[in-house]
Each structure stands twice: as structure tokens, then as C-alpha cells.
Amino acid sequence: MRYSFNQKAKDVVFASMSDINASSKDLAAVCDAIRYKSVSNALDVLESVANGDIPILYRRHNTHMGSRHELHGKKGRYPQKCADLVRKVLVNARANASNKGIIGVDLYVVHASANKTVIVPRFPSKGIISIGHGYGYGATRHSDLELARVEIGVGSADTQGLSKNIAAAINASSIREARLKPKAAPKKPQAKKPKVKPAKEAKQVQAEAVKPNNEEKKDMSATAAKTTAVPNAAAKKEGA
């Protein structure tokens, strides 16, 4: 299959989807948003756009389009359907790279494009009123079906055969992503656990604690002698 990628890079892996019933302009805007980004970051962006969390910047075809504060006042939109379609193509491209043995390498979106391919003419069935109110024929009289095609190529940052502009764009994107990554929190010092003595040492300590010392024995014998001497003295007084 032929692709529109004109660089002589053999290590770039491609994936495509044809006959897509979607706007080629929206698909092109989505491809512009992920081009030269890492595959993991591009998948995160596409998933967020498909969920309606972030908008996509429209550099062209943005007449009468609203500005978005997420894009710092630039014009954009939420092409959820097109983002989901492009995400499927990108997942296929990554799977093709793994099948060709490109594993353990940071992959980047080297090529991403969308073009209009086929225009299927459509006309309303006989009997439908297709005349506008004073403005000529209505939209239902002539409504063509326009199909599109998406191409995505992935490769590593060290792929040979890429132009200087593409290599510089990938390098700038990698630096930007490294700056935006959240820094890991410093590890808290863990409290030292008290050392547990072996069972034999613990038994010896308990036995030593139970055994009385020599001084304690003397004190105990002295108190016992006093207690026996007191009742003997009382008995002698009674006898006298």
C-alpha cells in the first residue's frame, strides 16, 4: 500500500484507515494535534478529546468558530468522533511496530495525515420537496457523501532517513513532554522498626527477670525472721 510519506526511512511503520464517513477537515485537525508527539502522549490526548475533556486547535477552516480558553483564546472544537477514529489507527500502528520487532523503544508519531478520497453523489427520493423558502434549492436536493482516509506512521527518534525538520520537531516535543511530566514526590524517611529478639534470648531474659537477686533473697529472709520473732515474743509475755 502506498502512503503519502515522502521520506526515505525504512524503520517507519504505518497504519491507515480508508472510506471513513467523517469530516476530512476535522480529521486533519486531529492529526495536526498529535504529529511529532510520543505515542503514549498522543493516545492520552486522543482519549481526552474523545471524552470531550479538551479541545483541538483548528489552524484552518475555523471561520465563525468559537475561541477556547483552554487554547489561550485560539479557535478550536471538540471532534470526538474523529479523535476516536484516529486513536484506533494509532493503536494499529503501534501493534504493527511491535510485530516488526520494534520493542522497548520510545515511539513517536512521525507521520499523520488525513485527506478526502471519494465523493459519493446523493439525491433525495422522488416526491420530496427540496425547494428553499425563496433561496433556491434546499440542502436536501443535493447532499454528497464525502469519505476520507487517515495515515499514521510511527518510529523512534533515532530513525535514519528523516529530514532535519522532522528530527528537530521530535526532539523539541520530547523536551516539552519531559518538562510537563509531574516530578516524583520525595520519599519520606521510614521509621526504624524495633529489632525482635530471637525466641531463645527472649526466654533467657524472662527467666532472669523471674530469678531474684542475692540481695533480694537476703531482704526476704530478714523480713521472714522478723515476722516469726514478733509472735514468739508475744507468747512469752502471756505465759509470764
State the fold for domain 13-124+141-180.
Answer: Ribosomal Protein L22; Chain A (3.90.470)
Interval 89-127: pLDDT, tens: 999 999 999 998 888 788 999 999 999 999 988 776 665
Average pLDDT in the 4-29 region?
90
Interval 48-76: pLDDT, tens: 999 999 999 999 999 999 999 999 999 99
Average pLDDT in the 14-32 region?
94
Of 100, 88, 83, the closest CA to residue 12 belongs to: 100
Average pLDDT in the 211-234 region?
58
Q: How far are the Cα atoms of 85, 123, 132, 191, 223 from residue 144, in angstroms, in the given order?
A: 21, 8, 18, 71, 116
pLDDT over threshold 70, residue 219: no
Q: Is the pTM of this model over 0.75?
A: no
Of 210, 197, 200, 35, the closest CA to residue 113 belongs to: 35
